[in-house]
Structure formats: C-alpha cells, structure tokens
Chain A
C-alpha cells in the first residue's frame, strides 16, 4: 500500500520492487471529455453575448466571426506568412540564447573559475526584466530582425543558464566518487553522470525558457514590426478588426501549448528511468 511515491526522491531504493504495483496512480485520472465542459460553456456564453448585442463587435468579435476571420487570414496568406516569420525569430533567438546559456551553465557548474567568472554577472543581470531593454535595443539595432532575435535570446539565456548551473552543481557527489573509483574517464563522467544528473533541472529550464521566448517575441513584435504575427495583430487594431486580433492571440496560445507538449514528451523519454514517470504516464 505504501508505494505510490508521489514526488519520489530520485535515489530511494524501496524494499519491494516497484514494478509490481503499477496502476494505483491511474485510478485518479478523470475521463478527458469532462474537462471540456467548462471551456465549451464559456465559448457558448461568449457567442450568446455577441449575438444578443451585449458584446459590441468592435470590442470583441464573436467566436464565429473569429473562426471565419481565421479562415480568411489563412487563405490570404497573411497568417501563414506571419507565423513563419515569428516562428523563425523564436527558433533563432532560442538557439542562440539556449546555446550560450547551456555552455555558460555547464562551465560555471563544472569549474571553480568558471563559476567565479560567470556566475556573479549573470546573477546580477537576471534580476533585470529583459523586456525593459526594448528601447535600448531599438536604439542600438534599429527595427529589423536583430533586436527581436536578441530579445528572445536574452530572455531564454537566463532560465537555461540558471537551471543548467543548478543541475550540474546538484549532481550527487557520491555518484561522482563512485565513478572515480570505478575508473570512469572524464568523458564518461560527463556523459554518464553529470549530463543525466543535470537533465531534470535543465529540462525545467527549457520549459520556462520556451514560455519566455514566446512572451519576448510578442512584446518585440508589438512594439515595432512590419512583419510577423505581432504585426498582423497591430495592423488589425488599426482597422478595429477584433476578430483578427483574437485569431493572433489564439495562435500564440496554441504555439505555446505545442512547444510545451514537445518538451513534456522529451521529458518523459529522457526521464523514463524514474518510477514516477515510467509507471504512471503523468
């Protein structure tokens, strides 16, 4: 009865093999269709409010208008084009910021000097909201692609750095000792002890970073842009097209959800050695 361990500490050796009691965690899951009741109800109320005139068209378009607008902007190519541009900016910024954060995090986590040199400035800079740099970035780089990509990169850098650093520092020293005694060379220690040990924390950083990446691109494109999703939304505002604005918002939300699901899938695969994740498909 005792072995559903909820937030199982990673290094517990239970006295009973945990494989023999699988499904107890599964019983609590409610059927998924019930989770759709309230979202659907909200959309229905929204539609009713629009049809009865309670909600004016230039304040918020009805759900149905939003759907038709979505079809329109997709057909006209406005949405796919903007989406591709925004996605490109996020991917570019994410790769730059993620790579820099990863390298700095591993270096400062592994070496004494790396920690002494890298950690203080990063810890100071991270307290500053990176979005506040938008005016400065526009002054420095103008309004083309550079400031947008850099803003995403900067937003991504900190969560990746912090979590990779913490993950590397948090690797169990007892496992490192075992590796030394067992004849692991430096590469094997990195590959089999440090990287897998830091991975859970690094993946948390990845999820945080993806959320911030989308936030950054929204802000950057809303402040100054003549391409991308943010431009489509801004342009719609000029013409009081609340339906197109909502389409843009929904696309942002779907993109955020999509990337998050991607990381969750990655997490499930990378951390399948954990009984909590392997046993109860969370």
Chain B
C-alpha cells in the first residue's frame, strides 16, 4: 500500500438540511477516512446529492435550514454526473484551468495520459465520446491531487461496457493516488464492486454500513440482497 499522508478525514455529524420545510438530511453522521473508498447508496430523493453538495461547498452552509458539523480536507475535487467540460476550451485547458501552479500544463498532460486521453488533449470537448468526456472530467479532478474525491454518479449516463472500463480506471487511479473517495450512486453492483465501505442513505440518515471485504470480489450476492432490501427493493428474481 502506498503511504497516505496523515490527513484529516471528511467528517459530518448531525447534519440537517431543510429545503423550505422539507427535511432532506436529518441528523446525518458520516466519516470518510483518508484513503478510504466509500460508496453512498440511496434511492432517488434520498438526499445523497444534497450531502455531496454540502461536502463540495456548493450548498451555502451558512444559510437557513442547515445545521450540524461538516469538516472536509483542504484539497477536494468533484466529478459530476455530466462531465461539465467548458465546450469552448480544449480538453487540456479544461483540466488545467483553475490550477494555480507553474507546471499546470505539464500536470494536465500527465493526468490525461493517466486516464488514457493522451491523443485528445487538443480536441474540443464536444468531439469527445461520452466515456472520453468523463475521463477528461476524472483527469480534471485528479490533477488537483485531492485528499477527498467526490464522485456524483459519474458513470450513470454511460453505456454498460464503457461503465465497466471506467470502474477499472477509477479503482486503478484510487490505488495509485489514494484519495479518500465518496462515490454517490444508485447502482448497487457498482458500489459493491468498488468501495471499501457501502453505506445506505434513507430518510435523511445513514441506515446501514457494510464492508464487502477484500477485492477482487467474486460473490457478493448475499450482501447484494441485503442492500437491496435496505433500499426497499425486493430482490428474488436476480439472485
């Protein structure tokens, strides 16, 4: 195992988030240790994206309707469901911009190499395929050397084959750089294949916390059935 620096974990305690009287997060507690890969599962509307936005600093935590403790490490990066590339800047510039370092261009080039986009650095983002665009988005997150990487259903819009390739890529990048990862997803199989810990969000708080065990995982069907039940899905046909 590579040596993760002694950094602070991401830590949330008693987080409450109200949107105009509707309570989306209700006293949520969650910790992502440095270098830990956590998958957050939840049905749509369970508040998983809200939690991610709070962690990313995109939700105004000073606003009315927010209370609780939120501690995140200083360097943090996000990959969204849509790649959110600036269509009028080259792929390389998309990775590089906002990075205030002397070697930003070289670093962007290396990050693009790592995600397998070496030849596409000068392309316009609209000429990329869906998988390539998402790789560029990962490179943009990676180049910031985050201690915490937030992934907001980044593979949801990809076709099944591309998604499998992306899973391998993410595991590979995580093994090499060891950021703490919080992966928000509604794909149970994805969560079970990738994460150290699989937590289930329901009713605004964490209702289950599983550790699927060492990788590679060959038979996760028992845990899969448990998690599906926790998500309110009855699962007798698939296993």
Question: Could you tell me which A residues sit within 8 Å of B by CB distance?
Answer: 8, 10-19, 174-175, 177-184, 188, 192-193, 196-197, 199, 271-275, 278
Please give, as numbers and ranges, the residues of chain A lying within 8 Å of B80 by CB-CB distance. Answer: 174, 178
- In the complex, how many angstroms separate the beta carbon of B201 from the nearest chain A beta carbon? 21
Task: Judge whether B124 and A278 touch: CB under 8 Å.
Answer: yes
| B126: contacting residue among A174, A188, A199, A273, CB under 8 A | A273
Please give, as numbers and ranges, the residues of chain B lying within 8 Å of A193 by CB-CB distance. Answer: 86
Given known contacts A174-B80, A182-B97, A196-B88, A274 and B57 CB-to-CB distance under 8 angstroms: no
- B residues 77-96 touching A (CB-CB < 8 Å): 77-78, 80, 82-84, 86-89, 93
9 shortest interchain CB distances as A-B pairs:
A182-B98, A178-B84, A196-B88, A183-B98, A184-B98, A273-B124, A273-B88, A13-B133, A181-B78
Q: How far is the CA of A241 from the CA of B144 in the complex (A)?
A: 73
A-B contact sample (11 more), CB < 8 A, given A179-B98, A181-B56: A11-B87, A13-B126, A17-B128, A17-B129, A175-B84, A177-B58, A182-B97, A183-B99, A192-B86, A271-B88, A273-B124
CB-nearest residue of chain A relative to B84?
Answer: A178
Please give, as numbers and ranges, the residues of chain B lying within 8 Å of A183 by CB-CB distance. Answer: 98-100, 144
Please give, as numbers and ranges, the residues of chain B lying within 8 Å of A10 by CB-CB distance. Answer: 87, 126
CB-nearest residue of chain B relative to A189?
Answer: B98
- In the complex, how many angstroms separate the beta carbon of B184 from the nearest chain A beta carbon? 14
Given known contacts A183-B98, A183-B99, A188-B98, A13 and B83 CB-to-CB distance under 8 angstroms: yes
* 27 residue pairs A–B, Cβ–Cβ below 8 Å: A8-B126, A10-B126, A11-B87, A12-B126, A13-B82, A13-B133, A17-B127, A18-B126, A18-B127, A174-B80, A178-B78, A178-B80, A180-B58, A181-B77, A181-B78, A182-B97, A183-B98, A184-B97, A192-B93, A192-B97, A196-B86, A196-B88, A199-B88, A272-B124, A273-B124, A275-B127, A278-B124
Q: Is B140 located at the chain interface by the 8 A CB criterion? A: yes
Q: Is B130 located at the chain interface by the 8 A CB criterion? A: yes
- Provide the B55-84 mask, 1 if CB < 8 A to any CB of A, else 0: 011100000000000000000111010111
Q: How far is the CA of A274 from the CA of B126 in the complex (A)?
A: 7
Q: Is B159 located at the chain interface by the 8 A CB criterion? A: yes
Task: Judge whether A13 and B86 touch: CB under 8 Å.
Answer: no
| A13: contacting residue among B56, B76, B78, B128, CB under 8 A | B128
Task: Judge whether A182 and B86 touch: CB under 8 Å.
Answer: no
- In the complex, how many angstroms separate the beta carbon of B85 from the nearest chain A beta carbon? 8
Task: Judge whether B140 and A182 touch: CB under 8 Å.
Answer: yes
Q: In which size bucket is the chain B interface?
A: 20 to 34
Please give, as numbers and ranges, the residues of chain A lying within 8 Å of B123 by CB-CB distance. Answer: 19
What is the total of A-B residue contacts with beta carbons within 8 Å?
86
Task: Judge whether A181 and B87 touch: CB under 8 Å.
Answer: no
Please give, as numbers and ranges, the residues of chain A lying within 8 Å of B76 by CB-CB distance. Answer: 181
Task: Judge whether B126 and A181 touch: CB under 8 Å.
Answer: no
Task: Judge whether B126 and A275 touch: CB under 8 Å.
Answer: yes
- In the complex, how many angstroms separate the beta carbon of B52 from the nearest chain A beta carbon? 11
Q: How far is the CA of A8 from the CA of B124 in the complex (A)?
A: 15
Q: How far is the CA of A182 from the CA of B111 in the complex (A)?
A: 15
Task: Judge whether B98 and A273 touch: CB under 8 Å.
Answer: no
| B82: contacting residue among A174, A184, A273, CB under 8 A | A174
Given known contacts A182-B97, A182-B144, A16 and B126 CB-to-CB distance under 8 angstroms: no
Please give, as numbers and ranges, the residues of chain B lying within 8 Å of A18 by CB-CB distance. Answer: 126-127
Please give, as numbers and ranges, the residues of chain B lying within 8 Å of A274 by CB-CB distance. Answer: 87, 126
Q: How far is the CA of A264 from the CA of B197 in the complex (A)?
A: 55
Please give, as numbers and ranges, the residues of chain B lying within 8 Å of A13 by CB-CB distance. Answer: 82-83, 125-126, 128-130, 133
- Provide the B136-158 mask, 1 if CB < 8 A to any CB of A, else 0: 00001000100000000000000
Please give, as numbers and ranges, the residues of chain A lying within 8 Å of B125 by CB-CB distance. Answer: 13, 273
Given known contacts A174-B80, A181-B58, A15 and B88 CB-to-CB distance under 8 angstroms: no
Q: How far is the CA of A197 from the CA of B76 in the complex (A)?
A: 26
- Provide the B201-234 mask, 1 if CB < 8 A to any CB of A, else 0: 0000000000000000000000000000000000
- In the complex, how many angstroms separate the beta carbon of B112 from the nearest chain A beta carbon? 15
Q: How far is the CA of A46 from the CA of B87 in the complex (A)?
A: 50
Task: Judge whether A192 and B89 touch: CB under 8 Å.
Answer: yes
Q: How far is the CA of A151 from the CA of B93 in the complex (A)?
A: 43
Q: How far is the CA of A193 from the CA of B84 in the complex (A)?
A: 11
CB-nearest residue of chain A relative to B58?
Answer: A177
Identify which of B58, B87, B140 gathers the most chain A CB atoms within 10 Å of its CB.
B87
Q: How far is the CA of A8 from the CA of B58 in the complex (A)?
A: 30
Task: Judge whether B159 and A15 touch: CB under 8 Å.
Answer: yes
CB-nearest residue of chain B relative to A14?
Answer: B129
Task: Judge whether A273 and B57 touch: CB under 8 Å.
Answer: no
- In the complex, how many angstroms separate the beta carbon of A195 from the nearest chain B beta carbon? 9
Please give, as numbers and ranges, the residues of chain A lying within 8 Å of B99 by CB-CB distance. Answer: 182-183
